[in-house]
Structure 1
Amino acid sequence: MMENASVITIFYLSGLSETMNYRSVLFFLSLLCYCVILLVNITLIVTIILDKNLHEPMYILLCAFCMNGLYGSTGFFPKFLWDLLSPVHVISYSGCFLQALVLYSFVCSDLSFLAVMAYDRYVAICRPLQYHSIMSKQRVMKLVCFSWFTPFCIIGINICLTSRLKLCSPYIASLFCVNWVIVALACFPAATMVNNIVAYITILIYVFHGVCIVWSYIYLIGICFSSLENRAKFMQTCVPHLFSLITFLFTVLFDIMNIRYGSKKLPQSLKNFIAMEVLVIPPLMNPLIYGFKLSKIRNKFLGNMIFRIK
């Protein structure tokens, strides 16, 4: 890593090279988007923390889920907003790897939280009498730690393997630091074999997460629609999870398809939009989906609004 640092001390981000004439508009829209993300996520987090009636496993997991959204957004937006105001778009060597670690661990943690939340709904609907013994506070905290620290460690291994590579170019054709792009800058492609193996293992781990989530909801749909009571419970508590899952999978798959099959002839602005989707849409949409669909949160929020107006 020290050898790399002596050769490359900064990276140049070329993703904004075609947007010189729209910087002010992009800055305003991006700042507005970031402020809305902060507002909706912090509002939901504070609502859950302050209301003891919401100190239940589902809402604790939701609170941590929104915290992860803030974590990912903060890893992207401040630097992006600074670049929109700056004539030169650079990031330090260590800062680039740190940003890649934050953004990748955010995406993987989101999928882990969706898996844990699917498990929570499975226990609540299929084993209601054992729900509180299975989803105890200690177990919920272990699941939260699993959803945060496991992705962080797995992505950390990927980033450490990338940091050992000797790089031959400081130019990154993106808005932000992406691990696979940094690996592509390696002087010796043969040296990236270990990186590729670990990357494929990481992908398999999170594909398995996705398969488990999809299977659990297919199973829940089959169970719930045979009972009127379970059907009502599913519509009230599982539908928001499904919306979040669909939103997340759509943005991630769209990004992966662009990376794997995207044409180099696509306009840079379209590439930027595709790359930003997973960092913008889930953190923005998730608290709105849960805030509107979960009656306890909606009623609490509306009650506070009415109280303040009076």
Structure 2
Amino acid sequence: LTRPMENTSYIITFFLTGFEEMDNERYFYFVSTFLGYLMILISNVLLISVIVKERSLHEPMYIFICNLACNGLYGATAFFPKVMTDLLYKVQTISRVGCLLQIYCLHTYGTCELGIIAVMAYDRYVSICKPLRYSSIMTQANICRLLVLAWGYPIVIFTVHFSLTVRLPMCESIIEKVYCDNWSVVKLSCVDITVNSIFGLFVTTALVIVPIFPIVFSYFKIWKVCIRASKEAKGKAMQTLIPHMVTLANYVITVLFELLQHRFDMSKLPHIVHVLISVQFVIIPPLLNPVVYGLRIKEIKKKIANVFQISRIMPMLLHKTDPPSLPV
């Protein structure tokens, strides 16, 4: 039975039941989560630092990669600290305000990720298909416009969608996940959620389907150019394109896992598998993206290697004794 409307104001705390069946291995999951978050912080901060510091990397492609790393840090920070804290307690709760804040951060992270991937695909399209016009098209002003579009478009649309969730009164307080997501909270409402469902379909189309079109268009055009190009040019084009394709495939697969668990019954799956599937989208992309770009793109790999060489040489120089001064 649903609670009467007059009692809905008392629902100010949610219970996260996704941690069930983890009691026996709670500390193992805590250590794994901590190490994963630490790797994400180190790799993304290193990538951002190298791109910001090295003026030779202040080009459109690297600027977009830097934004992708910043977005990865944003999403990971909205997820990992809370999960690590919950793993240390027997009962996992989150306040209504905290839950809504996590919803907003995780969903804007996910939608901005696809927006940044879309402008990166456009950048590769211009670079490979229109190389002579690249510098005139990818000007500083146009780069700023693309970044505003990549961040602003999903944030504005989701904010409207999010406002429909905030207004809902809640009758239940059980969220069967390890974090808060929009649809799980909407389902707890004791009023009609038809408007939320319909607008949710529009938001999914606008923030997932629409950005896919320029990405597919860009990759299709690049593929056509590669077919007609020489072997050397084709290899160079594919070398720059492969990291972007890996990033897109990584994102799409992890998001599909998240969407499928909302649409299909996955109760037959082991609990830990269900949990891992639900958190793929916020773990794998920020963990994999720095590895993909740091190891695949020669310029970034070279700069990172230089950073580590300097860090190894400097202590040697500092501890080196000065040569004796010559007598006057």
Tell me the TM-score normalised to structure 1 length: 0.95
Counterpart of 2:158?
Answer: 155
Residue identity opposite 1:207 in structure 2: I
- Give the secondary-structure state (helix, strand or coil) at the position aligned to 2:228: coil
Counterpart of 2:239?
Answer: 236
Q: How far 1:304 moved relative to its partner? A: 2.1
| Matching of residue 115 in structure 1 with residue 118 in structure 2 | yes
Residue identity opposite 1:8 in structure 2: I
- The answer on whether the counterparts of 1:4 and 1:164 sit within 8 Å (CA) in structure 2 is no
Name the CA distance, whole Å, in 2 between partners of 1:170 and 1:15. 13
- Give the secondary-structure state (helix, strand or coil) at the position aligned to 2:19: coil
- The answer on whether the counterparts of 2:19 and 2:178 sit within 8 Å (CA) in structure 1 is yes
Counterpart of 1:197?
Answer: 198
Q: How far 1:271 moved relative to its partner? A: 1.2
Kindly, what percent of the aligned residue pairs are identical? 38
Task: Give runs of aligned pairs for residues 137-216 of structure 1, distance below 5 A.
Answer: 137-188=140-191, 191-205=192-206, 206-216=208-218
- The answer on whether the counterparts of 2:8 and 2:169 sit within 8 Å (CA) in structure 1 is no
- Give the secondary-structure state (helix, strand or coil) at the position aligned to 1:114: helix
Counterpart of 2:250?
Answer: 247
Q: How far 1:236 moved relative to its partner? A: 2.4
- The answer on whether the counterparts of 1:224 and 1:234 sit within 8 Å (CA) in structure 2 is yes
- The answer on whether the counterparts of 1:4 and 1:165 sit within 8 Å (CA) in structure 2 is no
Residue identity opposite 1:93 in structure 2: R
Name the CA distance, whole Å, in 1 between partners of 2:239 and 2:100. 41
In the superposition, relative to structure 1, how do residues 28 and 133 fare at CA in structure 2: closer, same or farther (>3 Å)?
same
- Give the secondary-structure state (helix, strand or coil) at the position aligned to 1:225: helix
Q: How far 1:220 moved relative to its partner? A: 0.7
Residues 111-152 of structure 1 show CA distances to partners (whole Å, capped at 9, x for unaligned) of 001110000011111111221221111211221122122212
- The answer on whether the counterparts of 1:48 and 1:63 sit within 8 Å (CA) in structure 2 is yes
- Give the secondary-structure state (helix, strand or coil) at the position aligned to 1:165: coil
| Matching of residue 227 in structure 1 with residue 229 in structure 2 | yes
Q: How far 1:263 moved relative to its partner? A: 2.3
How many matched pairs?
306
Name the CA distance, whole Å, in 1 between partners of 2:7 and 2:79. 24
Residue identity opposite 2:201 in structure 1: Y
Task: Give runs of aligned pairs for residues 271-290 of structure 1, distance below 5 A.
Answer: 271-290=274-293
In the superposition, relative to structure 1, how do residues 4 and 59 fare at CA in structure 2: closer, same or farther (>3 Å)?
farther
Task: Give runs of aligned pairs for residues 96-111 of structure 1, distance below 5 A.
Answer: 96-111=99-114
- Give the secondary-structure state (helix, strand or coil) at the position aligned to 1:85: coil
Point out the more displaced range, 207-216 or 20-29: 207-216
Q: How far 1:102 moved relative to its partner? A: 0.6
Counterpart of 2:85?
Answer: 82
Structure 1 unaligned regions, length at least 5 = none
Tell me the TM-score normalised to structure 2 length: 0.90
Residues 138-195 of structure 1 show CA distances to partners (whole Å, capped at 9, x for unaligned) of 211221122122212222212210121222101111100011111111213xx21111
Name the CA distance, whole Å, in 1 between partners of 2:88 and 2:148. 37
Name the CA distance, whole Å, in 1 between partners of 2:42 and 2:229. 38
- The answer on whether the counterparts of 2:51 and 2:66 sit within 8 Å (CA) in structure 1 is yes
Q: How far 1:4 moved relative to its partner? A: 8.7
Name the CA distance, whole Å, in 2 between partners of 1:5 and 1:284. 40
Task: Give runs of aligned pairs for residues 57-76 of structure 1, distance below 5 A.
Answer: 57-76=60-79
- The answer on whether the counterparts of 1:125 and 1:230 sit within 8 Å (CA) in structure 2 is no
In the superposition, relative to structure 1, how do residues 243 and 4 fare at CA in structure 2: closer, same or farther (>3 Å)?
farther
Point out the more displaced range, 265-274 or 100-109: 265-274
- The answer on whether the counterparts of 1:5 and 1:93 sit within 8 Å (CA) in structure 2 is no
- The answer on whether the counterparts of 1:162 and 1:195 sit within 8 Å (CA) in structure 2 is yes
Match of 1:125 among 123, 128, 132: 128
Name the CA distance, whole Å, in 1 between partners of 2:187 and 2:279. 20
Q: How far 1:265 moved relative to its partner? A: 3.2
Name the CA distance, whole Å, in 2 between partners of 1:144 and 1:31. 31
Counterpart of 1:30?
Answer: 33
Q: How far 1:262 moved relative to its partner? A: 3.3
| Matching of residue 296 in structure 1 with residue 299 in structure 2 | yes
Residues 233-253 of structure 1 show CA distances to partners (whole Å, capped at 9, x for unaligned) of 312211100110111111111
Name the CA distance, whole Å, in 2 between partners of 1:82 and 1:181. 21
- Give the secondary-structure state (helix, strand or coil) at the position aligned to 1:11: strand
In the superposition, relative to structure 1, how do residues 236 and 283 fare at CA in structure 2: closer, same or farther (>3 Å)?
same
Residue identity opposite 1:180 in structure 2: W
Residue identity opposite 2:250 in structure 1: T
